[in-house]
Chain A
Amino acid sequence: MKNLDILAVAAGVGICILLYCIAGRAERIKSTKWKLFWLLPASVLAFAGRFERSLLPLYVGIVILLAGFFREKTVFRRGLSIAGALSMLASVPASLLNPRYRAKDYTGDFQKGYDAMREHYVLTEYKGIDWDALYETYMPMIEEADREQDAVKNYLAWSGFCGTFHDGHVGYYCEKETMEAAARSVLGNDYGLAVMRMTDGRFAAVNTEESLRQYGIANGTIITSWNGQVPDEVSRQSPAWGLMFYYENEETGYETEFGCFPDIDNEIFYSGLLAAGVGGETVSVGILDENGMERTVTLPKIGEYYDRLFGTVEKIDHGVNIGNLEWQRTDQTTVLLRIKGMAYDTQSYMSGDEKSYREMKEKLTEALEEYKADGVKDVIIDLRNNGGGSPIMVKTVVSLFAPEGTYDCSVDGLWDDDRKCWVTDENGDYVPGKAIRCQGENLLDGGRVILLTNQACVSAGDFMVKIMRGLPNVTVMGFTEPNGSCQAVGGVNFRGGKLTFSNCVNLDPAGGILIDSGIDRQSTDDIDVQIPFDLDAIRAIFDEGQDYALASAAAVFSSTAEADVP
C-alpha cells in the first residue's frame, strides 16, 4: 500500500478517535462551533491522492462522519465515529487484496502515445510505417504488461515498438532502474568478453576478462563462431535485437544507452555485439589461436552481460571527457573543441534568434584567436555522443569555421496554420518553407577542421556534421557515421514515462528529407574517412585505454600535408 494512502487511513482513523472523544463534551458544552469538527474528515482527502477504487471504504467513512455535522446527540456521533473508523480500516485489506490497486494504466498510455504518433509523426510515408500492423503487434504485449502490472514488460514492448522506426528521435524514456531491469532481462549472460565486427568483416574479442587468457582469448582474438554460428547471426537471435535502451535522467535529461541504428551501416558495425550474451551455462566459442589455427573453447557463464555490453560501447564511443564547448590542446598546431550538446544557456536555447548566441560566439572567437596567436592552425571538433539541441547554435558554430560565403544548410517544411498540417505537394512530398543559411567567417584563415563523429551523434549533432561535411576545409571522421536522425522532435508525457518522436519537418536545400534514413535505411549524413576498426584499434582502445579515434584524427594533421586533406 502506498505511503500516502496509509497516511490518509491513519489520519481518518485518528480523526474518528478524536470525534469519539469530543462527542460527549460537544453535547455538554453548547456551542455551534463544535459542528465544525465534523467537517474535519474532509481534510483527509488532501492525503488521498488520485481516486482509487480500493479506497472507497475510506471515502464512505468520510461521508459517514459528515453526518455528525447535522445531528448532535452523543450516542449518534460516537456511533458514527465507530462506523467511520471501521469503514476506513476496511480500505486496507481492500487495497492489499486488489491486484489493480493504484495500477498504472499502461494500455491507456500506449493508446495515447500511439494516437499522437500516428497523427503527428512526419516520416510515416518516407519510412513506410504500417500503423495498423504495429498496433496489432505491440498492443497485446502492452495489455499483458498492464494485466500483470509489469514495468519491465511494458518497457520492452515500448522499446520494440520504438525500435521498428529506425529513427533516433523515436524513444520511450522512463526511470533508469526500469530500463536497467529490462536490459538485464534480455541481454543475456556474460562469458567474459564482448564481440565486435572489424572493418574487414571478421569478428574479434574485445573488452575481455583476464581470466580468459587460459582459453587463449585476449582483446583482438579472432572469433570465428559463437555456439557454432557466425556472431552476427547469433546477435539477431538475441531477445535484445531491435530494442533500444533509453532512459530519463533527472539531471541530464534524455539518455541513450544503446540500440538505435537508423543507418544500417552503423547497425552492421555493432552487429556482433549482442551475440556475446547469447548462451546457457556454457557457450562454445570458435577462435583463431596465436598460430592461426581454429579451435573451439567452452566458456562458462560468469554473470550478466549488461555491464560488459554498455562498458564496451562506452569505451568505443566516448568522446573527450571535458565540458561542453571547452578546448583542449592536442599538439603544437592543433586544438580540440568539445561539443557534447547544442546548448549554450537556457535563454539562447529557447530563442530562435542567432543574436542570442552572441556571448558564445565571442567566447569561441576569443579563444580561437588566442590559440592562433600561439601557433594553432587546425581544429578538431569532437562531436561524439552529441545528443543534439538548438539548430541556431549549430548555425552559429558552423559560421565561425566555414570559409567566407553563404551556405544553404536546410529548409523547414511549410506549415499551414489554417489546416494545421505540414503542406505536401501532389506527390505527397513536403513543400519547403523557411531556409536556414549561414554566413562563413573563416576564422581559421584557411586552417583545417576535422570533425569526429559516431553513431550517438544525433539530431542537431547530425545536422552539424551534414553542414560541415559540405565545407571545403572540413574532413569528417569516425568509426561509424552519425546517427542519421534530424527531424525536429516532439513528445507525449505519461505518468510512468515519455515518448518522443519526429514531428517537425526538416528538408535539405534540394527539398528532400534532411538526413533521416528511409525504407532503405541509408541516411544522407555520411563521413569522409572511416577510421578502421581493426586489431590496432582494438588493442589501443581495450588494452591501452587510448582514445583511438582522436589519435587517428590528430595523426591526419601531423602526418598529412595541408593540400592532401580534402
Chain B
Amino acid sequence: MTHLVQAIALGLLIGGVYALMASGLTLIFGVMRIINIAQGAFLILVAMLTWWLWHETGIDPILASVVTTPLMFGFGWVAYRLLLSRIRGSSASMSVLLTFGFALVIEGVLNITAGNKFKSATPSYFEESFRVGAISLPKAQVFGFLAAMAVLGVLYFVLTRTWTGRAIRAATQNPSGAALVGVGATGTAALAFAIGSATTGVGGSILSVLYPFFPASHYDWISRLLGIVVLGGMGSLPGALIGAGILGLAETLTATYGSLNWSTLVFYIVIMVVLLFRPQGLFGAKLREDTV
C-alpha cells in the first residue's frame, strides 16, 4: 500500500513537470499546426546551459531559469522569424522536417561544444527528501513540481486574462477571423512560438536536476512529449495536463511493480490503446477541416 501511494505521489510530481514541458509543444501546435520536433532539443539546450551556470557559479539550477526563460523566449522568437515563417503556407509536413533538422543541428552543436557525456546538476538538496508519513518525496522532485505548476499558472493567466493571450487563442480557433479583427497572424505566431519555447526555460532547468542528460537525449524527450500531446489530443492544453499525468503514473507504477526498463514502453502501449478507441486522443476535438 505504501508502495502504491508512494508511486502515485511520485508519478503526479513527475507528471506535473511533464505537463509543463508538453504545454509549450501543444501551444505551438494549437496556434500554428507546427509540430516542433526541436522542442526536445530546446530542453536539452537549456539543461546544458543550466548545468554550465550551476557548475560555474553555483547558482541553484531551478532558480537559473530566471535567466534561461527570457533567453529561450528570444531564441524562439528569432527561430520563428528566421526559419519557420519562411515556410508558412506550405504543407505541415515541411515544418516537421524543418524542426527535425533544427533539432539535429542543436544536437550536433552541443556534441561539439559540450561533448557527449552524461551530465546532471546536483545541488545540495539533491539527495534529500521530504517525509510525509510513510512516504518520502525527493526535494528536487517537489521543487521541480512547484516550479512547473507556477509556470503553468502564469501561462494559464496569460492565455485567458491578457489581450496577448486572447489574441493567441483567437488565432488558434480561427486565423482568418483573428486577422479580420486586427490580430496579425505572423506576429501572433511568433509570439506563441516564443512563449512555447520559453516554457523550456523552466522545463530544461528542472530536467538538469532530475535526469542525467547528454545531447542525444532529446530523442527520448521529444518522443515522450509528443506521446503526451497525441494522448491528450493535439493542441489541447487540458489534454496535455492529463496526458502528462498518465505518463508520470505509467512510469512510476511500472518502475515500482515491474521494471524501470519497460516504463516508457508501457506509456506507448497506453497511447496505442487510447488511439484504438479514440483516434483523436482524449481531449482532441474532431476538427472541422477533417470533414469533407
A, B bound: no
**Residues on B facing A (Cβ under 8 Å):** none
